[in-house]
Chain A
Amino acid sequence: MRGKCGLFHTSYASETRFFQSGFQKLSLGLFLVLLLCSPFFLSNYQVSMLNMINIAVIGAVALNLLTGCCGQISLGHGAFIGVGAYTTGLCTLAGWPFFAALLFGGLVTAVVGMLFGIPSLRLKGIYLAIATLAAQLILSYVFLHWTSVTGGAIGMGLDAPVILGMSLDNDAKMFYLTFGVAAASVLLVANILRTRHGRAFVAIRDFHQSAESVGVNLFAYKLQAFAVSSFLAGIAGGLWAHYTMYITPEQFDIMLSIQYLAMIIIGGLGSVLGSIFGAVFVTLLPEFLGVLAQWAGSFFPNISMYFLALREGIFGLILVLFLIFEPEGLAHRWRLIKAYWKLYPFAH
């Protein structure tokens, strides 16, 4: 093996690159090629899972920027995703081109997010959590009762996105859209984190008084974190709405907010890679539990019924187990495994 015992940089620019070695680039490239070909060899159902994962990645990376990196907890992201879903839906129903509608949905969500982010100037931790919970409840109420616009409990039917005259009416076509937007979102957030804005966010999280003393305008930067995060949440919502082609208020209730929080906790707070891991994990968890139930069902015939009823309980249990045994999330475990193999067989 052609091994290296360290990394050497000859310029500052090379050090801030995302991928430090050719091997990393190669393996990521291969993985991406495989992913892009996957609609050709996976079943429709499997591709639909990939679509759900892509959308979840956007939402998770958005929430992680706000909560994991900037330390501003949000229990309102489920509703923010809803704002994006309804806004984008209304725009396409009005005949807007899909991308214009998606962008507008993101922008409206950014404004809504900033509005509900204003209390963050005064509130921290659990108090901010309550304030954003209020945002969630208020918006849920609006989705349900502003019937003339949202369709209320009946919901809103939408068409598959049409891009350049092509209707993305199956999972495979949709995959390339969701994947592209997810990749772009991940890139944007990763970029922010290596520049002054991302550093200011983390500074606010780690020690807000010091952040102020180095010249970070706390209010402006918290609001920017809310804006960028809600923008991406809105984009996730717009995609989701046009993927399921039907939206109802209960899709965007508190459970969704909690699910996204679970993703970033399980994946790793403040880590872009962790957001991806978390989104994959939480999206696939019900599938995994389903398989488990079936397998157990072959021994205990009635267990699959209980499993279904217990799903949310099991979800909660897994979250608690993660908080206790893997508080730094899957991203941390991944780093440990990588570090181990880098030095293999010379660990220690």
Chain B
Amino acid sequence: MAMLEARDITLTFRGLAALLNVSFSVEQGQIASLIGPNGAGKTSMLNCISGRYHPDEGQIALNGRDMLPMAAHDRVKAGLSRTFQNIALFKGLSVLDNLMVGRHVRLDYGLLSSLFYWGKARRSEDLHRRRIEEIIDFLGLSPHRHQVAGKLPYGVQKRVELGRALAGEPELLLLDEPMAGMNLEETEDMARYILDINEEWGITVLLVEHDMGVVMDISDHVVVLDFGQVLAAGTPAQVQADPDVIAAYLGSENASFIGR
């Protein structure tokens, strides 16, 4: 059984279909990529999985559990985390607190415990802080730990957002263009992080990315969307050789895809 299974997803905005009968699956332990030209519906698909959009039709299952009836915040507990295409950090909180918020669902003391900062709240803050520090070290965020997130450079903010998603201990991580706007070095670092997260921490990744070089390098499985429909799916090599994909990308601004 696949870890993530999307079947016949259709999503419309005022009668216009952003997604039309989209089906694909992601196996446990994979890095899967969702690619396609601008406006193809990649972000919309992630939003359907994470619960921000509600598809008109279709099914989405995570580890066999039906996701669609669940509220967005409950899906996090079920093992889902995500980052956003445009940085969506809590700008007024420090890096550390951003990550601690990311851990929200793993902390389970109640409001009274919070008010009095009693035993359980205190213990669990300390305990989870340890894990957060591991993530901070892993992403090289130590120098920024106590800085306010909104004032950090763009590339660092992108990493903080990745850290916040990791803090929720996801089984499936949804990344919406984590390399967008980064220079070559930052892109390579980010690719390295994604590989490490996948290989060492065993987290399955669904990646949306425009940088075809990276996608083809690190993906196990690629799904190509075009105008809200699945154009092709398979290994990077299969997808690159697919005539439909080549036709769709030729003449578009993503033509570089063919060359790389």
- Listed in ascending order, the chain A residues whose CB lies under 8 Å from chain B are 11-13, 16, 188, 191-192, 194-200, 202-203, 205-207, 209-218, 224, 228, 270
B76 and A213 contact, CB distance less than 8 A: yes
Contact size class for B? 35 or more
B73 and A217 contact, CB distance less than 8 A: yes
Binding-face segment, B1-9, B22-30, B122-130, B227-235 = B122-130
Q: Is B158's CB within 8 Å of the partner chain A? A: no
Chain B residue numbers with a CB within 8 Å of A210 are 84, 88-90, 164
Q: Is B116's CB within 8 Å of the partner chain A? A: yes
When chains A and B are docked, how far (Å) is the Cα of A218 from the Cα of B133? 27
Choice from A214, A218, A228 contacting B105 with Cβ under 8 Å: A214
When chains A and B are docked, how far (Å) is the Cα of A23 from the Cα of B72? 46
B65 to chain A, nearest CB (A): 16
Residue ID in chain A nearest B161 by CB atoms: A210
Chain A residue numbers with a CB within 8 Å of B92 are 202, 205-206, 270
B126 and A214 contact, CB distance less than 8 A: no
When chains A and B are docked, how far (Å) is the Cα of A217 from the Cα of B76? 11
Chain B residue numbers with a CB within 8 Å of A203 are 90, 93, 101, 104
A195 and B73 contact, CB distance less than 8 A: no
Residue ID in chain B nearest A196 by CB atoms: B107
Scoring B residues 133 to 146 as 1 if CB is less than 8 Å from chain A, else 0, what string do you get? 10000000000000
Kindly identify, within residues 74 to 123 of chain B, every residue whose CB is under 8 Å from any CB belonging to chain A: 74, 76-77, 81-82, 84, 88-93, 97, 100-102, 104-105, 107, 109, 111, 113-117, 121-122
Known: A199-B100, A202-B93. Contact between A212 and B88, CB under 8 A?
no
Choice from A206, A215, A217, A228 contacting B90 with Cβ under 8 Å: A206
B94 to chain A, nearest CB (A): 10
When chains A and B are docked, how far (Å) is the Cα of A48 from the Cα of B100? 43
B131 to chain A, nearest CB (A): 11
The 6 closest A-B pairs by CB, nearest first: A215-B76, A215-B105, A206-B90, A195-B114, A191-B117, A210-B88
B143 to chain A, nearest CB (A): 14
